[in-house]
A and B are shown apart, each in its own frame.
Chain A
Amino acid sequence: MNRFDLLNKVQNILKDNLVICNIGLPSQELYKISDQPNFFYMLGSMGLSSSIGLGLALSQNKHVISIDGDGSVLMNMNTLATIGNRAPSNYTLLIIDNGSYGSTGDQRTFTDEKTSLKDVALGAGCKNVIECYGEETVNELNKAIDDKDNSYVIISKINSGNVKIDPIPLNPITIRDRFRKFIGKVKYL
């Protein structure tokens, strides 16, 4: 199972939540599978999906899923400490860990060598850290959302590999405004 297959499997769960999706192929693949106003596609700022989702979860009550990658978490590893200490229960970080920098040509990351993001997350203070494989992710993600008392970090181990895909044709302000409108607090739209 690669990232595209995984996103296909979890798309119905994502549809019912606020989603912050990582830059590059993860966003492009999700857009191709199912474009929704409650999906915020990152067009820049590699590494910050988990952080944007955390700020959003702290600011309103709907459940937030940050879709991140192993390469991106390695770039912003302090995020795990902030999540471990501050994440509210309406927050789930889904790290799609394929051991490679998918968007830049599948170069290996350190999670394909010695680094365990599960161990890092636990050491950083995250309590509910789940490492799972491929299809198991669907169940784990559902459990995380159903648990109204705890936040979760789910590390989904999958194979590397991408599908051929185009950039997202949406303007960033369109992504922003329809997302904020979905949350329901923006009056000018």
Chain B
Amino acid sequence: MKISKKIIDNLKKGGVDFYLSVPCKLLANMIDILENDKDVYYSAVPREEEGMGICAGAYLGNKFPCIMMQNTGIGNSVNAIVSLLQLYQMPVVFLISYRGTPGEPVGAQGGMAKITEDILQTLRIPMLHCSSEKELDKISTFSKHAKVVESPVAILCDFNLMKDDK
């Protein structure tokens, strides 16, 4: 719970007040925290691309949105990212559980893991790669950066960082 709490605290410190998720077991603790947090909006959504649309609307309504998802969700959302969030320059934080990184037991997750950072780089999305607890301290500044540059940003949390967060 310590890691998950630190991530959410830092996102909130960065001003994020609207959260969606397409669940992942590595995100489960964060979802528990958000479901019990009366200060922010949280909902699950069925698909990441749809979540990008909801985040865009939340930004128009003056919220600072974050969508939590597995890295596979980036693959589901490329057009929405480019022709909505980037076209209209909308700050949204992607909080990504980085499935398929070392420690991952499911071999099939390796495919998207190999290309996740390439996709984000191709999309010119600023990335914060968190593989240890001390890197989580950068999350609040990095989230604020999304607002300054009016762009979606991506925070990648490695499998091994999240897996023992009991």
Contacts and interface: CB of A to CB of B under 8 A. Distances in A.
A55 B54 contact: yes
Contact of A180 (B18, B45, B62): B62
Interface residues on A, range: 35 or more
B47 interface: yes
Contacts of A45: 52-53, 56, 79-80, 83-84
A54 B54 contact: yes
Interface residues on B, range: 20 to 34
Interface in A32-65: 40, 42-60, 64
Contacts of B88: 172-173, 175-176
Interface stretch (A1-9, A79-87, A132-140): A79-87
Interface in B35-86: 41, 43, 45-47, 49-63, 65, 79-80, 82-84
25 contacts: A45-B79, A48-B56, A49-B53, A50-B53, A51-B57, A52-B56, A52-B57, A54-B54, A55-B56, A55-B57, A55-B63, A56-B58, A57-B61, A58-B58, A59-B60, A59-B62, A60-B61, A76-B50, A78-B46, A79-B53, A82-B46, A82-B50, A175-B88, A176-B90, A180-B60
Interface of B: 18, 41, 43, 45-47, 49-63, 65, 79-80, 82-84, 87-90
